[in-house]
Amino acid sequence: MVKQKEAWSNGWQMNQEEAVNRMELKIMPLSENEAFARVAVAAFMTQLDPTLEEVEDVKTAVSEAVTNSIIHGYENKGGNKPVVIEAYLTKRRIHIRIEDEGVGIENIGRAMEPLFTTKPELERSGMGFAFMEAFMDELHVESGRGRGTVVYMSKQIGGQ
């Protein structure tokens, strides 16, 4: 697990050397800001000339991850700790990292199973990670109880 964590963190750093552009957005954990984050990332990626479908896929994945940080990580309580959304573009790929300093996830494997949720009262329950996995090429989650959560995702854009 620790090895995997290092591999991903290092990969994130190393790949940035090939980045043609980079952005970072820090938002308060309010649901009003979820749409802002999703649209900001969508606007940022337009320079890779994505199809509408690719834009929709990335927006959905960002929306799910940011929503999770707000409602699960920070338990819908707002507060001063941020959700940080970073993205960078290489020639044909968008790489995204979404981080919160919230309660964290005790069992990541179980949390990522389709339909698993700790909030069954919500709409579309338990499908957030499944959507991120379906709509992006790569998905990796680092978390632990009380340690916050980092979600890494990437997707090839254009050029198939």
Ligand X SMILES: Nc1ncnc2c1ncn2[C@@H]1O[C@H](COP(=O)(O)OP(=O)(O)O)[C@@H](O)[C@H]1O
Catalytic (active-site) positions: 64, 68, 124
Compute the least distance from the CB of residue 80 to ligand X, in Å: 17
Angle formed by the axes of helices 52-68 and 128-135, to 10°?
Answer: 150
> Which among 83-91, 121-129, 133-141, 146-154 is the span making contact with Mg ion, rule CB under 5 A?
121-129
Judged by CB under 6 A, the chain residues 109 through 128 that form the site for ligand X are 111, 116-119, 122, 125-128
Compute the least distance from the CB of residue 87 to ligand X, in Å: 17
3-state SS, residue 129 = helix
Our finding on whether 68 is near Mg ion (CB under 5 A) is yes
Q: Contact, 80 vs 113, CB < 8 A?
A: no
CB-nearer residue toward Mg ion: 9 or 36? 36
Binding residues for ligand X, rule CB under 6 A, total 22
Our finding on whether 128 is near Mg ion (CB under 5 A) is yes
| Torsion angle defined by CA atoms of residues 39, 41, 47 and 48, in that order, rounded to the nearest 10 degrees | -120
Judged by CB under 6 A, the chain residues 52 through 111 that form the site for ligand X are 64, 68-69, 72-73, 100, 102-105, 111
3-state SS, residue 124 = coil
Interatomic CA distance for residues 109 and 22, integer angstroms: 30
CB-nearer residue toward ligand X: 87 or 98? 98
3-state SS, residue 8 = helix
Task: Give the per-residue contact string, 1-40, with ligand X (x = CB under 6 A; - = no).
Answer: ----------------------------------------
Closest by CA to 27, choosing from 96, 84, 103, 77, is: 84
Tokens of 142: 């680092």
Interatomic CA distance for residues 104 and 117, integer angstroms: 14
Which residues bind to ligand X, rule: CB under 6 A? 64, 68-69, 72-73, 100, 102-105, 111, 116-119, 122, 125-129, 149
Q: Which residues bind Mg ion (CB under 5 A)?
A: 68, 128
